[in-house]
Amino acid sequence: MVDLKGKKALITGASSGFGADFADILAKKGMNLVITARREDKLNALKTNIIKKYGVSVRVVAMDLTGFDAADRLYAEVKDENIDMLINNAGYGMYGWFEKQNVAELNRMVQLNVVSAMILANLFAKDFSAKNSGWILNTASFAAFNPTPFYAVYGATKAFLMNFSVALRTELKKNGTNVCVTAFCPGFTATEFVETAGQKRSWFLEKTIGKSYPAAVEAIEALLKNKPIVMPRLMNRFGAFCLRFMPRSMAADAAFSSICEKK
């Protein structure tokens, strides 16, 4: 079993959902934390709760990571903290017909989901490789496996994160570096994601949505074992397996039918 006591994790998107779950799970294992997101009040509330429960050190860095230089600024803010684990969890989705979506907002989403995560992974991979130790978890999605109408751009960002994570893990492993990289690919989960994306909870969604905390526990366990991809819940793994044998156009049609809204 990996001993994380006294080590330090940087968690982006920590104000709610998986980010807050990761903070609780890692603090319970004795890790000190640096938590970041836009909503400082939520971060401070999480900090107070974590310290009360586990007595670890928690630093809050309130920051919007959608700016073109935001990831570099965050790294400059925390580079002297001796970070041992990066949880690239910040991100959001946009639901709707692509041609009706605002291109500036789409650009912000790509900046956050892809560019900021990639830059942070690059900067911390250098640090972790230098000390031959570290962990990087990138929150992707089940959507990474499937062309997803109404989430066309979001799904593409998560496909990038999944493939990037596996490629980076392979490079580090082949270099003989003791740095773990895992792509976390949950399906629909009971977080703020659906509401933030602008999607209504359909009957199908209500029947298939999962809980976030057990999924986050599974993600951390997979990261510590250096698994390339972790996908919680059997139904999600079965769905991803079936997609291997389905033409992408057919998979997209199936996804369209399951989450369609009237135009």
One of 3.40.50.720, 1.10.3720.10, 3.30.420.40, 3.20.20.70 is the CATH number of 8-259, namely 3.40.50.720
Q: What is the mean predicted confidence (pLDDT) over 44-68?
A: 96
| Average pLDDT of every residue of the chain | 87
Burial code of 131-159, b = ≥16 C-beta within 10 A, e = fewer? eeebbbbbbbbbbbbbbbbbbbbbbbbbb
- Cβ–Cβ under 8 Å, residues 48 and 22: no
Give ∠ CA 42-184-237 in degrees, rounded to 5: 130
pLDDT(85) > 80 = yes
pLDDT(185) > 90 = yes
Q: CA 50, CA 56: separation in Å to the nearest integer?
A: 7
Q: CA 69, CA 46: separation in Å to the nearest integer?
A: 26
Task: Read off the pLDDT band of 78 (50, 70, 90).
Answer: very high
As a whole number of Å, the CA-based R_g of the chain is 18
Q: What is the mean predicted confidence (pLDDT) over 194-202?
A: 58
Tens digit of each residue's pLDDT (9 = 90 or more) over 168-178: 999 999 999 99
Residue 263: per-residue pLDDT: 39
Q: CA 18, CA 141: separation in Å to the nearest integer?
A: 12
Q: What is the mean predicted confidence (pLDDT) over 140-154?
A: 85
Tens digit of each residue's pLDDT (9 = 90 or more) over 209-236: 667 899 999 999 999 999 999 987 655 5
Residue 126: per-residue pLDDT: 98
- Which has the higher per-residue pLDDT, 233 or 63? 63
Residue 186 CB partners (closer than 8 Å, separation 6+): 18, 139, 141, 142, 210, 212, 215, 219, 231, 232, 233, 236
Q: What is the mean predicted confidence (pLDDT) over 67-87?
A: 95
Q: CA 122, CA 126: separation in Å to the nearest integer?
A: 6
Residues marked active site are found at 154, 158
Q: What is the pTM of this model?
A: 0.86
